[in-house]
Chains A and B, each alone.
Chain A
């Protein structure tokens, strides 16, 4: 059974304090790894797609990386507006179905 695990469950950072979120996956035939941001009461917002080990994608203060077993979302010098839940999802084909992790709830404080 495909499985995606995210850690930590919750993370509190001071503004400017860089850190990383982890997404470990055990799936058969990974075709893509997606990162999403979810604000309270809203649907997930797409951030990045990673397709192969070694690939990196960047957007503002966020950088996503991928290995054969896990993905990291690095947050550099975060700001309070980066506070949200970050979800990762593994795509293994077959109807474009995704297996989601339970997310990391990030809070960035002044």
Chain B
């Protein structure tokens, strides 16, 4: 069966520091991969999605970037964090080119001080 792992679960970072969140998927090949941010009382906002290695689409202009160095690895990064980057970050995967649902990891709670 397929599994998705995100780490760390919780992260507290100072303003201006760098960020790297990692997500890996097991048990499937060539998945679509996604990064979302969820703010309290708001829906999930899609940040990035990827249909293959080094193929990344950005949905909103922001202080973050994403990379996919391997088929089942997706990384969310920032060079300098802002207070507004605080939130709950979720990684998800789905079967490539289908109308099957997305499946989510357990998220990273990011607090910027």
Contact = CB atoms under 8 A, between A and B. Distances in A.
Chain B residues touching A, range: 20 to 34
Contacts of B83: none
B90 A43 contact: yes
Nearest to B109: A41
B51 interface: yes
Interface residues of A, number: 25
B64 to A, nearest CB: 17
A96 B94 contact: yes
A101 B1 CA distance: 28
Interface string A45-62: 110010100000000000
Interface of A: 4, 31-32, 34, 36, 41-46, 49, 51, 87, 89, 91, 93, 95-98, 100-103
Interface of B: 6, 32, 41-44, 46, 49, 51, 57, 59, 90, 92, 94, 96-107, 109
What 4 pairs between A and B have smallest CB-CB spacing? Answer: A43-B104, A100-B43, A100-B44, A102-B43
